[in-house]
Structure 1
Amino acid sequence: MTSHIGVTYVLVHAEFESVKVGVTTYGSRRLRDLWRRQGWTSYKQLRLASKPLAETVEQGVLFQLRHRLALPAHLTHDLMPEGWTETVSACLIEADAVWNLVCLEAGALQLSPTVGAFKPVSHRPPKQYLRTKGDTPKYHPIARLLASEERRVTRSPAKRIRPNVD
């Protein structure tokens, strides 16, 4: 029976001086067999409610590594045919720092108001998730800003005033 619990993991390889972030399901043989045979050791693992959540965390960490920190993939396809794009040099970033990125991405994902609410088919949330009266404190600055924007958008078009051409 396949587990639905997702696992985002961080592995280290002493010989290659590499750190790898990846995803699997809980109870899978992937970590036990495949990576240990190739010399990888498990640094830490984070269990999430589903594999898609674990994949989202992994992709967020890879985005941070590649684009925010500008760290390239460390291994090549020849050295590691499967998962080489998920590696980074341990000389450039430690496994603990990669693990911190995993925790930050998972925390941001779990605190996101859209987790479990709907499938992200589009970037626009369904109407039932839009702001409604009473969902924020009345005098909160964000509530005031949102209310003023809503009034501005829903206001009927004003009369056009002709410029005074003299």
Structure 2
Amino acid sequence: MTTPTSILTGERADLLEALGKQRYFLRYPTRDLTDEQAALCTTASELSLGGLIKHVTLTERGWARFMVGGAEAMERRDEDEPAEWADTFRMVDGETLAGLLDTYEQVARETDELIATLDLDLSHPLPEAPWFEPGKTWSVRRVVAHLIAETAQHAGHADIIRESLDGAKSMG
């Protein structure tokens, strides 16, 4: 039996609230945009608003897999995931902002369910990668903290990209 996230209290509720707030700040800059606007790179980087939503979705999906099954599960790819690394950061032909936001919402619901039900102390060794300390393990709790930070960082990017696009701001 699963626990509805709406009745959680304590640490789990705090983690879900923090992650939810950062997800909101990531999605908000995409308001009222066309697909063409969402695909535009408006700064010196190659990032677009649609590309950021897609990247954060795929990243969160991977970390959700890690929470359940460790590094091996994290490295698995679904058939709808891009084969090319660069395509994980941009909108490609046939993708729409609405579709990317819907997928993000679905992944968020699945992640929230894991946060609500998994043992937060459950740990797995991190995948071998130059950006991870060899032999290090992360708990579900540590992964959630990472997702909050990652989402917040990209929400800041999204705000700058949107302001560069048409002057709209998330705050101020």
Normalised to the residue count of structure 1, the TM-score between the two structures is 0.30
Normalised to the residue count of structure 2, the TM-score between the two structures is 0.29
Higher helix share: 2
RCO comparison, higher one (Cα < 8 Å, 6+): 2
Higher strand share: 1
- Pair member with larger Rg: 1
